[in-house]
Structure 1
Amino acid sequence: MALICRLHECAPFGRIPAESALEIENASVMTEYTAGTVIFHQKDEPSGFLYFIRSGRIDIMVETPEGVEMLVDSRTAGGYFGWTPVFTNEGYTAGARAAEDSSCLLIPKGLVLKSAEQYPIISNFFNKAIFSQVRKLYKDMVERNSMNPAAQMEAYPFQKRLSEIMSKPVITAPVTSSVRDIAVRMTESGVAAVVLTDSSGKMTGIVTERDLVRKVMSSGADSAICVRQVMSPDPYYMTPDTFMYEAATFMLRHSIRHLPVLDGESIVGMVSVQDLMRFRSQKSMLLVGGANEAKSVAELAEVYREIAKIAGVLLIENRSHAETMEILSYVHHNVIRRCFEIIRQQMLDEGYVQPDIRYCFMIMGSGGRREMLLGPDQDNGFIYEDFPQELNEAVEAFFVPFAERLVHALAEVGYHLCNGQVMVNNPMWRGRISEWRERVARWIKVPEPQRVRYSSIFFDFMPIWGDSSLCGELRETVSRLIKENPLFLFQMMELDYKHKVPLNLLDRFITHKSGENKGLLSLKENGSIFIVDCVRMYMLEKGIYAVSTLDRLDRLEELKVFNKATADHIKAAFESFTYLRIQNEIRLIEKGLPPGHFLNPDELTDQEAVLLKEAFKVAGKLQDSAKRHFSKIIGR
């Protein structure tokens, strides 16, 4: 016998007073659908009802750009469909067809909204259902594109940090121990290395089995001698958050077989070369891991070219693509930092004199958010301490040519020049901390369009080399000025709102009509940037700080700006944009073209097209909600 469900027995109406649920049920329309009946199409005008399935099964269908229907979900007795127009005032995002003989209760929209206003549990239930749609599409996409286990091993060293693979606890011994005591401890513990510590527990050396064989046994030395005589003092070490690929490359280059892992001065783990050598054949890993030791800009350019290969491996591995973006940003930061060091050393070797002042090289935009992909441009600047005016000539004599060389060196590596000249060789993007404060104050107090554009890049700044406290001081200034001038956030929103998501009323993509991007649409300018900008505006309003867009969403969720369902929904859309952007950039590179965020929607699979449309809709809804929220500032 077919299962028959009653509205007052099912969530969310089953969680309100029984008399209210029965009243809704009695005011609704009972309708029977035979198998194969189309209840509504994706492009139909909304019927004005919420559909509750009493019995049977309903298929949810979406139409691809080519007009082909695709099954995306099936719902059975106790489920609902057609809720999007009821709660969002938008059209149907999909069609519905009876997969078998079915009985449905059609609940009038006005009655649903009235009940939802009286009982928030109803609106929360359907909002969560709406928000989960893009997450489900994204999850299905990732699962279908996941790699086989052998290929996943290729991605492993780029994903895992030492904290996840290190051996612990570490066997330690006092530096005053005898060689005999160390040998006994190695044997009893089954280890090949012991860390030696002073009286305070601080690491002072390391001794390995090879040390004992080469320096004691082969020479016939007395095993009663102090281990201090055979240990390697002040050994190399790394921190728990170091990626495997960095450690592997470092150990190979320095012929190290055992690497202690320290958190501050605490010895928390040990990594051996055996743990890492199964990945030694990966050219990408060895090159990228060697970025920190590159001796020239040409070597860094070679490292940069390998980043796309890493992205290709990570892209199809079954994991968060926001994490992939973080890994890529980590590599980019190392390359940029090493380029800075190389150019700085060249300047010093040529006889340039660096003034004795505190300064910081900062990066902004996607780099400052750790959201760099395969074709980032340069957004960078210098902050100096407030040095006395008499030092200005010396500062300019060093930092002006340094900035010029650095910008062109980064371009040689692969980081193309910023079209808006947001680079350290532009005097506008370097200066004393007091000059930066005045500059930012002008942007915020007199928010002309160009100043708002500058600020949207600048507000994501972070230190990459030098005295990071200067960035901290400047961030405090930004927070204070925003609090004192809340109208600025409205101006930011107004500028952002001039651009809309590229979907027309028929749910079709809107592409560029002319120019070099004719027939293309931007995943960044028409999609992910709306999420980045809106989330940043809410963060600035609350006076909080977090680096990445997803971290900012977590903080905003904690502050009840977004509920969990909404935050998860936005995250899924952002990850969808990230996935499609990386995939598109890899395709362009494989064609011999520079990576970019412009995409030809005709090259998308049906599933990718559906996912992209849903992600655009999320970005559009967030943009609309931000407009409503920040427009209230005018009336305050």
Structure 2
Amino acid sequence: MDLNKTLRETEPFNRLPDDLFAEFSQAAILKTFPPDTPIFNQHDPPTGYLYVIKQGQVEIVVTTPGGGQMVVDDRKDGSFFGGTPVFTDEEYTAGARAVKATECYLIPAALLVKAARDFPHIAEYFTRAIFSRVRSLYSDMVAEHAENALVQMDAYPFKKRLSEIMSSPAEFCTPSTGVTEIARTLVKKGIGAILVCDDSRRPLGIITERDLVAKVLASDDPESFAATAAEVMTPDPRTMAPDTYMFEATTFMVQHKIRHLPVVDEGRLVGIVSLQELMKFRSQKSVLLMASIKEAGSVAELTAIKGEIIKIAKTLMSEARSQIETMEILSSLHHSILRRAFELVLEEMLRQGMSPPDIKYCFIIMGSGGRKEMLLDPDQDNGLIFENYPEDQDAAVEAFFVPFLEKLIATYAEIGYPRCKGGVMASNPFWRGRLKEWQAKVGRWVNTPEPQRVRYSTIFFDFMPLVGDPSLGQKLRRIVNREISRFPLFLHFMMNLDYKHKVPLNLLGRFSLEREEEHRGTLSLKQTGSIFIVDCIRMFMLEKQFYAPTTIERLDHLVKLKAFNSETAEHIKAAFEAFTYLRLRNEIALIEQGRSPSHYLDPYALTRAEQELLREAFRAASKLQDSTKRHFNVG
């Protein structure tokens, strides 16, 4: 990451003359921080530098009242941090910690102050509040919750990344290394596997003790002991990135029956983890839950596992981690349960002598499931894509998939995923079909955007392949983008439908509550809050013709495309996270009371601080709605 290039593309430096960039580059110091190392702590006096990340990852952390640490932001290549004290000379309001080995350019504060005399916008930028008001209120509330939480389950697997637990450097050899030398290395180092890499340390294969036994010791070929690494290795090993969480790696390795997992950063080998090391933590209920999904042999087991998810949610909330991360972790659990249930139903059909026709298909989930934004009690939103098989196969396809899908939807409901009240399920013929039939359907939605079709599209556009051939989902995604590019006015109709609903705040800042009997005296954190953020960000994504699964990933990409500035995006993220936090906490409380979880709550039952946070989050959502309306309005 070149310092000049980074500054030229980053606010507030992008309006400075060339001679200043040269001065910054000449004065900057390049410094490396080892993994899990504090760069500075909250309340430390200023170090006298602005930090620009050349390569690596830095977490911005604040200390909770109970003495723990809460991650409030994550910075990667090209980002900067530590700038506010340069102009205020006050202590750091948050700490910075290197997650992995990180190189930073350190720009002297004196040089920045000098530049700000001629270009005042620099000082104005850094003297703004680090976080928006909604972020500040949210951080205070989560910190208080973390201090008061009484959760006994260890959250270690959710806190640690592979960069923190992997063996590094990992042992590796070249493709021409002999098997005898490899065996000696394994014995000498006391390891169970060695990577085979090219000259750039890019993994080409992996050799385990089992490979040596099966392909050399147990071989009938007398020349086997003369074999090279290239001849006995298992090629193209599965890998993961160093910032992957431990729970993700554990689940992945159990599912794929992998004992050793190379850790790769930008294609280069940086470490290795073994399943044996990860399984040291199998005593923790959380990892047992993750691993047990794949091993579940009945619907009853999956039902019991789903009932345990609340414990994971409570653990994550007590650790004061980002609720966006919490939501993705819960979604990962739900996806695994849904996927395993699909397998169990398919196995039952096969036992009954019913086999699927020889065609490609892709089972998709939509809505919050497709966005990886599921909480504790999501309902079903799913569909099925078939390849364009010949018409004469219709009868065979229907004969298998009609009873299969009816059984699948009933199984999901039995496990605890309610049927969609709107019928958005693959058992409904409307939500399954060949690729060309989906194309025709999407074309009708986009080119004749009646209100009901627009409502369908808002659920459908977030689809994600869950089981089957994902290439069918990719083809359907391209169809969606192509249809919208042909008729961009559709986004105007989508915006109008969304804008008919407003956040539940009146002019005096009081909450507008539901009047219908079922939810009287409450408001919906989903339907009158987070949904506006989800819908608006989706519209911008569709306009820009890219795809990212989660709302936050979409927002981050829109910042890169300059559709939003970073400050606005931070405000939106904080509001979205606040809605998620309050909703998840409410769901947990209702379940513990023996009631069904819900996104409806009485805002006046919240503390004053929580009510103020909710108001600020609603205002942020409303402001996004207004800007989206201006952007997509016609005429």
Scaled by the length of structure 2, what TM-score is found?
A: 0.71
User: Aligned ranges for residues 236-315 of structure 1 at < 5 Å?
Assistant: 239-240=239-240, 243-245=245-247, 248=250, 259-261=260-262, 269-272=271-274, 275-277=277-279, 279-315=281-317
* Residue 440 of structure 1: aligned partner: 442
Q: Secondary structure at the match of 1:290?
A: helix
User: Structure 1: how far apart are the matches of 2:569 and 2:206?
Assistant: 47
Structure 1 residue 158 displacement after superposition: 2.8
Structure 1 residue 388 displacement after superposition: 0.6
User: Structure 2: how far apart are the matches of 1:421 and 1:157?
Assistant: 37
User: Structure 2: how far apart are the matches of 1:592 and 1:150?
Assistant: 19
User: Aligned ranges for residues 96-495 of structure 1 at < 5 Å?
Assistant: 132-146=132-146, 154-162=154-162, 164-172=164-172, 181=181, 184-186=184-186, 188=188, 190-195=189-194, 202-203=204-205, 205-207=207-209, 239-240=239-240, 243-245=245-247, 248=250, 259-261=260-262, 269-272=271-274, 275-277=277-279, 279-495=281-497
Q: Secondary structure at the match of 1:581?
A: helix
User: Structure 2: how far apart are the matches of 1:606 and 1:367?
Assistant: 33
1:496 aligned partner, one-letter code: D
User: Structure 2: how far apart are the matches of 1:226 and 1:207?
Assistant: 17
User: Structure 1: how far apart are the matches of 2:310 and 2:631?
Assistant: 39
Structure 1 residue 621 displacement after superposition: 1.0
Q: Secondary structure at the match of 2:404?
A: helix
Deviates more, 1:269-278 or 1:313-322: 269-278
1:313-348 per-residue CA deviation (whole Å, 9 max, x = no partner) reads 111213211111111111111111111111112212
Q: Secondary structure at the match of 1:154?
A: coil
User: Structure 1: how far apart are the matches of 2:257 and 2:396?
Assistant: 42
Q: Secondary structure at the match of 1:366?
A: helix
User: Structure 2: how far apart are the matches of 1:531 and 1:127?
Assistant: 28
Q: Secondary structure at the match of 1:145?
A: helix
User: Structure 2: how far apart are the matches of 1:267 and 1:131?
Assistant: 36
1:530 aligned partner, one-letter code: F
CA 1:508/1:291 → structure 2, altered by over 3 Å: closer, same or farther? same
User: Aligned ranges for residues 586-605 of structure 1 at < 5 Å?
Assistant: 586-605=588-607
* Residue 507 of structure 1: aligned partner: 509
User: Structure 2: how far apart are the matches of 1:195 and 1:268?
Assistant: 13
User: Structure 2: how far apart are the matches of 1:168 and 1:404?
Assistant: 50
| Structure 1: runs of 5+ lacking an equivalent | 1-11, 16-77, 80-118, 217-223
Count of aligned pairs between the two proteins: 506
Preserved contact between residue 359 and residue 382 of structure 1 (Cα < 8 Å): yes
User: Structure 2: how far apart are the matches of 1:545 and 1:247?
Assistant: 25
Preserved contact between residue 504 and residue 511 of structure 2 (Cα < 8 Å): yes
User: Structure 1: how far apart are the matches of 2:184 and 2:149?
Assistant: 40
Deviates more, 1:246-255 or 1:128-137: 246-255
Is the aligned partner of 1:561 residue 2:558? no
Q: Secondary structure at the match of 2:367?
A: coil
User: Structure 2: how far apart are the matches of 1:477 and 1:308?
Assistant: 38
Q: Secondary structure at the match of 2:154?
A: helix
Structure 1 residue 182 displacement after superposition: 5.3
| Structure 2: runs of 5+ lacking an equivalent | 1-11, 16-86, 89-118, 219-223
* Residue 8 of structure 1: aligned partner: none
CA 1:557/1:182 → structure 2, altered by over 3 Å: closer, same or farther? closer
User: Aligned ranges for residues 597-616 of structure 1 at < 5 Å?
Assistant: 597-616=599-618
Structure 1 residue 287 displacement after superposition: 2.1
User: Structure 2: how far apart are the matches of 1:524 and 1:566?
Assistant: 21
User: Structure 1: how far apart are the matches of 2:267 and 2:575?
Assistant: 41
CA 1:550/1:195 → structure 2, altered by over 3 Å: closer, same or farther? same
Q: Secondary structure at the match of 2:209?
A: strand
Structure 1 residue 437 displacement after superposition: 0.7
1:251-303 per-residue CA deviation (whole Å, 9 max, x = no partner) reads 899999x5333769987643246643553332232023221222222111122
CA 1:366/1:196 → structure 2, altered by over 3 Å: closer, same or farther? closer
1:587 aligned partner, one-letter code: A
Q: Secondary structure at the match of 1:592?
A: coil
Preserved contact between residue 362 and residue 473 of structure 2 (Cα < 8 Å): yes
1:287 aligned partner, one-letter code: L
Is the aligned partner of 1:536 residue 2:535? no
User: Structure 1: how far apart are the matches of 2:169 and 2:482?
Assistant: 46
Structure 1 residue 141 displacement after superposition: 2.2
User: Structure 2: how far apart are the matches of 1:487 and 1:198?
Assistant: 52
Preserved contact between residue 205 and residue 233 of structure 2 (Cα < 8 Å): no
Preserved contact between residue 380 and residue 423 of structure 1 (Cα < 8 Å): yes
2:437 aligned partner, one-letter code: E
1:467 aligned partner, one-letter code: D
Larger-gyration structure (1/2): 1
User: Structure 1: how far apart are the matches of 2:553 and 2:312?
Assistant: 24
CA 1:358/1:607 → structure 2, altered by over 3 Å: closer, same or farther? same
Structure 1 residue 580 displacement after superposition: 0.9
User: Structure 1: how far apart are the matches of 2:529 and 2:120?
Assistant: 30
Preserved contact between residue 437 and residue 474 of structure 1 (Cα < 8 Å): yes
1:123-178 per-residue CA deviation (whole Å, 9 max, x = no partner) reads x9699669811121122223333359997982221344545522133324689989
1:542-575 per-residue CA deviation (whole Å, 9 max, x = no partner) reads 2221111111111211222111111111111011
User: Structure 1: how far apart are the matches of 2:236 and 2:164?
Assistant: 19
2:536 aligned partner, one-letter code: C
1:191 aligned partner, one-letter code: G
CA 1:153/1:268 → structure 2, altered by over 3 Å: closer, same or farther? farther
CA 1:444/1:277 → structure 2, altered by over 3 Å: closer, same or farther? closer
User: Structure 2: how far apart are the matches of 1:158 and 1:505?
Assistant: 42
Q: Secondary structure at the match of 1:357?
A: coil
